[in-house]
Chains A and B, each alone.
Chain A
Amino acid sequence: MAHLTGPAPRLRLRRLILLAVAWCAVTGGVFSGCKGLFTPAIPEPPSGAPIVNHYETVDSTLATMALAIGAKDQGRTAWLNAFDQNDYHQEFDDRDLAAFKSACQCAGPEDWTFPQEQIFYQDFISVRPEEYTAVFSPLDWNPDPQAGSTETLVHRGYKVVAHSPNGTDSLIIATGTADLTFHLTDGKWLIKHWADRLDSTVGVNPTDTWQLSFGRRRLESTQ
């Protein structure tokens, strides 16, 4: 019957103490003895001043994107957050697409959505090692239609310039125009559709081979 009545209270207390010691030892090992097991890594400080993300209006979204390109690596999140992750599509200029297909002897991308944009950004900021400045400006010859409450279309010209460290030389690495459709999502105006047009004054095969449109740069990033 002894095994049915259980151990004596003193034995039970001894076992409890032993278990408590074992538990404290193990938890001590886990939480302090093996310091670092649950301690996350310390991140590197952001390179350059952090980008303040503003997407409350169409113009603030474009300004944030321009700042993002200027910050290069550090602006990756700010640039990508300007796009509607679920619904973003980019449309190429037919001339850019034909020239790219001819050059690469390939079919070219069937569509361009958010995942491709992530790859493009990383590739674009590596085009030149110098610092970049970007600007999106309204087009006098193509004014914007009346803005909608949740969706709006704007026409913008864009230019990205790479500057030498002493500021004496510069190189245009992206130029063109874009018809941008913005959608209001969670209080943010995000790009839903980007119809890219190359700069006609530069042409599809520019004399300065750096002066390509964003669309052509996106196509080049797939190689």
Chain B
Amino acid sequence: MVRLRRFAFLFALLVVGTLLTTSPARAQEPGSVRYAFSDTTLLRDTLGLRFPRLFPLSDSLQILPDTLRALSIRYLWSLERLVTLADSLGVPVDSVGPVLQREQAYVLNASHGTHNSFSYNTGYTVGQTQSAWTNTTEYGLQHGPVFMHNSTTVELDRYRVGALTSVRQSRLSATELGWRFSPDFSLGGRVGLERLNNRDPTAARSYGETTNEYQISMRSRQRPVHGMTSDINLFSGLLDINNVNLEKRGVSGNLGAHLRYSPTPWLAHELNGAMDGNLSRTRAPGELTRENTRDYSQNVRGTLSLFQTSAIGLKGSFNFRHVQVETPSDSGSIHRVLTDNWGGESTVRLRRDNDRYVDLGLKTATAKQATVLGIRSRNSHRDDSFTATGRYLFWGWAMDGHFSNGFGDSKFPARSDSGGYGEFQHARSADATFSRQLGPRILARVTGSISLTSYRYSLIGKYTTPPVSRDQWRQSWRADANYSRNERFSTGVALDVSKNKLINIPSASTGSNNNTRSYRAEWHWTCRLLEGLTATQRNTLSADYLEYPFSAENNRLTLDYAAVTTLNAIMNPRLSINVTHNSRRSPAGNYTLYPDGLAYFARSDETGNAALTAAIAYTPSPAIAFSVEPAYFSSDRSAAANGVVAPQRANRSLSVSAGANINWSISKNGLLRGDIHRAYRADRTTTYSSGLPQSTPRSQIDFWTGSLQLSWHI
């Protein structure tokens, strides 16, 4: 308790200090040092696309830079437009695309008049052992207040195992017909049909699944007060399911609601809720009697944002989920499966600008999962954690710090018939990073971290073999320095030192306690040798010392030398060549105690790997591209037998993949996309017996892979 008070006092001090330095009107200073070590290859694009301010935006939105870049490419929107749309819709940036697509298809959003829309997509893919053919049609009709929509998908999959081929066919069709009484209310009916057939020659018999749903549909939209919008949708009707496990007939319903309340710029509240369920008469196939069953699920999610652009802001979210499924068992009784999840989190941000803030967060989550033994023996897990994240840019120093302290409590009451165990986990970590520009050409960064995770176990019932109570401790620091002479040449070095400890607590297991000290040095450089020709090399040197405090005879040292060299040549806008050579050598061994009382290192094994890969791409037009990718890989291993290191095994493999990609617009309505490749691979292994090589016969495999997709929209 005294510790808690001391902690609270220290935090209050930090909060007060930060508040005193807060001045919201202060202009933002550039923070380029912070992004100096980012992966700048993300900014390059051969299609001529640009991603200005990618790193600051992704940092601000708390999304990975490559994810933000992928979203921009997928929806063909600039980063600026993507962020503007996210702000306008009040959704996270990665939800913008799905929300817009959903709103486009929402019947209450349709404009007046008569509209027809039709799209057809077909795709065929072939692989080494399987092929799939998919056909999808979407048809929409609106005539005044009447609307109709149909979506049909047919998928045929074939899987080949040896000389046997199994076939899986699925067909889905959903049709809805309705009347829009007003821009905010519609009523209709819908039919959902699903068929699944599976024919497996190795199984005793084929099996299938049939699902039929006939429902009335109601959609409504409300704007009760200023700043509040809501949607309520209801679907209810008859259900008929037949599969190998059950036959279920009854009534089903689905009620979904969405509420958004944002009366002022400083408040945004969003609530999503859904209830699904059915009341059915159910029996196992072959049984004579039917039983009453009830399946239902409740799902509620909400978010609350307060003062997001102010000096002090709050963001919170909560969720609740409950699922009950009842199925008949072989004995005729009803087996009930329950799943529960609930949780919440809140973050307070004390912010001066994007480079000077502190986030304080609390999180709690509980999950209860069914086990095969029934509802009385559910596994449960609860997580509670506190996190603090701080950032400050001061006199050219970019400082980032993170602290977290979390507790996890799990119960596994039915690991066996005799009982189970409980696990209590306490994880805490702290890390800090300091970056600074040293002169016009040198950037430096130092990172330090420490973490400790404790696991403690308690018995439930008479379970005999719970996991071992233990601690896992880690401490590390890393120093990086990058030097950029000009845009043609840059280089950098890094040194990484870490120490890991595995500490089993009970005396029965402490013999395997161990400490690992790791030292890694790295040197990398990039040089543009010619216009269009860039060379990159990364060299790493590492040593891992594995020490057993209670069993020094097992101490082990593993060394590792690795170098990766890449040549990237853009011969002309249509032809590019990429060549990569990768080599790695890893000797390892143990320490042997000699009569002089000292332990000496003795090499016991060594592994050497090398790989040479190339990728050649030729794009004569935007509609078609050709590629060839050869790769050669070698692996050699030697080991000590009776004190002598001798070759043990050698592998060689060659693979080549060549093919073409197509992306062709057919008039203004159609698009044909696809690829076809021929892959070849050959392997040979040589093993050594008493020093004599014994080669296995060369194994070869070659096959076609490909896919073709045709889309047509009217």
Contacts and interface: CB of A to CB of B under 8 A. Distances in A.
Interface in A188-206: none
A74 B507 contact: yes
Give the 3 A-B residue pairs with the shortest CB-CB distance, closest first. Answer: A73-B508, A187-B604, A22-B17
14 contacts: A22-B13, A26-B11, A28-B10, A33-B3, A38-B452, A38-B473, A41-B471, A44-B507, A51-B511, A54-B553, A148-B689, A149-B691, A184-B641, A186-B605
A139 interface: no
Contact of B509 (A56, A57, A77, A150): A77
Interface stretch (A90-98, A119-127, A173-181): A119-127
A53 B690 contact: no
- Among A29, A47, A149, the one with the most B-chain Cβ atoms within 10 Å of its Cβ is A149
Contact of A3 (B7, B27, B509, B691): B27
Interface string A69-84: 0001111111000000
A149 B688 contact: yes
A44 B648 contact: no
Nearest to A187: B604
Given A25-B10, A44-B505, A77-B512, A15 B27 contact: no
Contact of B513 (A39, A43, A123): A43
Given A34-B6, A50-B511, A40 B690 contact: no
Contacts of A18: 17, 20-21
Contact of B503 (A19, A26, A43, A78): A43
A57 B604 CA distance: 12
Contact of B511 (A33, A57, A78, A123): A78
A37 B452 contact: yes
Contacts of A99: none
B40 interface: no
A52 interface: yes
B648 A40 contact: no
A24 to B, nearest CB: 10
A187 B640 contact: yes
Interface string B575-612: 00000000000001110000000000000110000000
Interface of A: 3-4, 6-7, 15-16, 18-19, 21-23, 25-26, 28-30, 33-34, 37-41, 43-47, 50-54, 56-57, 72-78, 118-119, 122-123, 126, 148-150, 184, 186-187
Given A30-B430, A45-B507, A40 B14 contact: no
Contact of B17 (A7, A19, A54, A75): A19
A43 B473 CA distance: 13
Interface of B: 3, 6-7, 10-11, 13-14, 16-18, 20-21, 23, 25-27, 392, 394, 403, 405, 428, 430, 450-452, 454, 464-465, 471, 473, 501, 503-513, 550-551, 553-554, 588-590, 604-605, 639-642, 646, 648-649, 687-691
A149 B511 CA distance: 30
Contacts of B11: 26
B6 A50 contact: no
Given A46-B507, A77-B511, A123-B464, A187 B605 contact: yes
A53 B513 contact: no
A22 B641 CA distance: 60
A21 B687 CA distance: 65
A51 B428 contact: no
A222 B26 CA distance: 69
Given A29-B10, A30-B430, A43-B503, A184 B510 contact: no
Contact of B550 (A4, A7, A22, A50): A50
Nearest to A52: B553
Given A3-B23, A22-B17, A150-B648, A46 B511 contact: yes
Given A43-B504, A74-B511, A126-B464, A26 B14 contact: yes
Contact of B6 (A33, A40, A123): A33
B690 A26 contact: no
Nearest to A18: B17
Contact of A33 (B10, B14, B649): B10
A111 to B, nearest CB: 18
A41 B464 contact: no
A6 B511 contact: no
Contacts of B18: 19, 22
A31 to B, nearest CB: 8
Contacts of A37: 405, 428, 452
Contacts of B506: 44
Nearest to B23: A3
A51 to B, nearest CB: 6
Contacts of A148: 689
A73 B507 contact: yes
Contact of A149 (B27, B392, B554, B641): B641
A123 B604 CA distance: 34
A56 B642 CA distance: 7
